[in-house]
Amino acid sequence: METKLLFFKLLERYRRALFFCHGYTSRGMMPAGVPSEVEDPTIELTHGDVVHPCVRYIEEGFEGHKWWMVYTPYYGDDSRLENPRLCYSDAAEGEVPVKWIFYCTIVGAQETGYNSDPTMIYDNSQLYVFWRECHTPKAKEQKCRKLTVGCKVHSKQVTFLSEPQMVDALDSIDREVSPTLVARNGSYRAYAMHLDFVPQYIRYIPSFIGCKLYRSGIVFLLDALGILNMNKSYGVAIWDSSTIERRFQYKKTIQFKNITKLYSPWHMDIFKSNSPKEDDVLYAVVQTRQRHARICLARCIGGEEFSFFKKPLLTTKDIGMMRLYKPSAVLVGDKFYLFYTAHDNNDMKWNRLFVTSIDWELLMSRISG
């Protein structure tokens, strides 16, 4: 374990040097987060692991609670554990939510395949949770490999929606990774990452050689060194629907603007601005790569143009830990809350949840300067 940790630390220093050569700072604009306590009813199995958090603040409250989070355990990268759970926090006004109470399990392990990428939206006094199903019986029924499905939650009961929200029948190319659903102009829109999981250079060599390269770890090393990307990121896929409970239709994919070649955006979460002057502005917190990532902020004007701020929100140097993973963000009044997970230095199988916060105007002045 010590050798593995040392190896990752050396890779991190190498990547910081790459960013320095490209004129990017090694420090983020926010302080490192504080650890969160998440109640886990299956602690012996899942070890309190938290990955892919999606946090929402409901001003009027839902069932007496304002802070809600859906996440999946993923201890040791075990996809059998990756089953969405819902929890809430009763943090006082102005306080950072660091204690989360288990509410219910959204869906259990699949007969075949696995769950991933949960997200959440509160709309018309209803709390909706959505997640991906990968290689499951339901995906097979829809004649695809992966799809996005959802449910309504009430009184610790889960009511599954009658049809999937997003269905993509493509093979290695996936246009619904890490989706976020938002209400917009009387209808609904889903933003998701558009990725190709097979590197372009692998397609030009015999498949048996490509498989050997993957198993040997060479592809992972080339990706970490910034020589060749392990995945191809096409940008943000846009899906639209007139109602949240029916099928969304793929519209188009848009590329991120103002982005360095060192980034290959992997997962993201979206939140709305509180300012009346930014009525049609969205913000995205983005994990810049699958591994060796930073957390960055992007602004979306008009619903279809995402542009990165050059300065990051957080880097691994800020937090002193490895593998920053998918963030979630909430803007409450004038305060910005950023939630993220990272590997514990003493147990790299364990993803721990952290939260940091900052005054929104202060963050804007720092990140724009």
CA distance 196 to 211: 16
Structural domains in the chain (count): 1
CATH number, domain with residue 334: 2.115.10.20
Quote the pLDDT of residue 320: 87
Instruction: Read off the pTM.
Output: 0.92
Q: Write out pLDDT tens, residues 105-116.
A: 999 999 999 999
What's the pLDDT tens digit per position in 216-232? Answer: 667 777 777 766 677 88
Amino acid, single-letter form, for residue 196: D
Mean pLDDT, the chain, rounded, equals: 90
* pLDDT for residue 265: 94
Give the C-alpha distances (Å, rounded to integers) separating 28 from 177, 199, 286, 295, 365: 25, 29, 13, 8, 13
Residue ranges making up the domain that contains 13:
2-368
Residue among 322, 310, 329 at smallest CA distance from 368 = 310
Average the pLDDT over each of 79-88, 95-104, 205-214, 319-328 and give the range with the smallest value: 205-214
- Considering only 126-135, 198-207, 319-328, 338-347, which range has the smallest mean pLDDT? 198-207
Convert the pLDDT of each residue in 124-174 to its tens digit: 999 999 999 999 999 999 999 999 999 999 999 999 999 999 998 777 789
Whole-angstrom distance, CA of residue 66 vs CA of residue 174: 33
Q: Phi and psi for 302 in degrees, rounded to 5?
A: 75, 10
356 C-beta neighbours (distance < 10 Å), count: 21
Closest to 53 measured CA to CA, from 230, 193, 180, 175: 180
